[in-house]
Amino acid sequence: MARSATRKCCSCGAPCGSGERVTTHDRRIAGWLLAVIGFLIVFSSLYPFSFSLTGAEALGRFGGLPRAGTTRSDVAANVLLYVPLGACLAWLLVPRLGGALAVAAATLAGALLSFSIETAQLFETRRVASLADFACNTAGAFAGGCLALAIARTRRNLHTSRFAGLLRHPVAAALLFSWAGYRLAPFAPGLDPAEWSASFAPLVAGTGFATSAFLAHAIAWLALLLVAGRLAPGRATSLAAGAMAIVLAGRILFTGLALEGEELAGMAAALLLARPLARLGSARAASFVAGALLLLIAWTGLAPFDFQLAPDRFALLPFGESLTQYRAANLADVFLRCFTNGALVWLLVQAGRSVLAATGIGAGAVFAIELLQTWLPGQTAEITDPLLAVCAGGLIAIFERQGSVG
């Protein structure tokens, strides 16, 4: 029995037994995530599946991909799209192939998938195939593979790594990255100092102060303070302040973004409330912020409350508008939805609810708001937000088993 307790795990050199079961569990999760990610990539890239094979030129479309132009925002989106795919593939292949070969295999698989999709887009009437998209997708798969390899190596020194909190609580880390992604998408770096100077213009323009935007930023950063407390106990304010600095720097350096007075005020308010929030205890603080976030979701979704008698349709296709009409703003919208619904469920869990109860409350409340939107002109009621809340609950059940920390 003693010999089995000290036997090493072939994938990471850690002791087997419980550690080996965790590794097997991680691979099973990576396998499921890979299947979901692959489905989402194919579905989002080929929807609405309006293929045309008629005409004498159909066979001539096979072969090389067109050298269509691209933008910096498209480059960022296409790279990011394949990062999770490459990461999951490499994570699954590292134990069998080793680090370098796993990354190479993940990159090749991502390239083959991208080339197949781009070739199919040659026949999809509402899609544009591009060699640039293929190159960016391949680069994203390679970056994801390298990221998975770095995480696997970092986990060997988990307890001493400065990134230990990110690895122990990946859902909390995802919330932090989602908000940063929302504020910085579409991640198009600007190289002109004049653009950097122009990002300060809204602060001196005197265009007014939007209270609703201020409250949205303040509540988001209050939630992120609790997230930071989970990721870096005892250093929550420092981590949150660092994240704020990164967001503000990105708003200056990235093209098409600018500093906003409401955002700066929301950050300042969250930092001022950090100490009083900490005195409440983590569970009570999470309850308070979850309630504020739910009120904000309801207000944003139902204002100006001009209900009509005849209900409109309820869309059952997630992200239907984003799939049918691509815009650079779609990426920011995806990040915001993931953060908002994920944070709501995560906060309810931190407040002491079971994962099942938190998921039911969060998804049920969001679903009720979406149903009410069918009576609101100008609003699009759809299944996206309730589905994201359910997905958040599933991820929390897998990765954040401990629940509340206080």
Residues near 263 by beta carbon (within 8 Å), at least 6 away in sequence = 183, 213, 217, 251
Q: For 353-399, write each residue's pLDDT tens digit.
A: 999 999 999 999 999 999 999 999 878 888 889 999 998 998 888 77
Exposed e or buried b per residue across 6-34, where buried means at least 16 C-beta atoms within 10 angstroms of its C-beta: eeebebbebebeeebeebeebbeebeebb
Cα–Cα distance, 168 to 164 (Å, whole number)? 6
Q: What is the pTM of this model?
A: 0.77
CA–CA distance from 345 to each of 78, 191, 215, 323, 358 (Å)?
A: 29, 39, 19, 25, 6
CA–CA distance from 33 to each of 26, 87, 91, 353, 375 (Å)?
A: 10, 10, 11, 26, 36
Q: For 167-177, write each residue's pLDDT tens digit.
A: 678 899 999 99
Which residues sit opposite 270 in a β-bridge? none
Residue type, 190: G
What pLDDT is recorded for position 155?
63
- DSSP tag of 9: P
Helices marked H in 98-210: 99-121, 131-154, 164-168, 170-184, 193-198, 201-204
Q: For 44-100, write each residue's pLDDT tens digit.
A: 788 777 777 764 454 455 556 666 666 776 787 788 889 989 988 998 898 888 888
Cα–Cα distance, 200 to 261 (Å, whole number)? 10
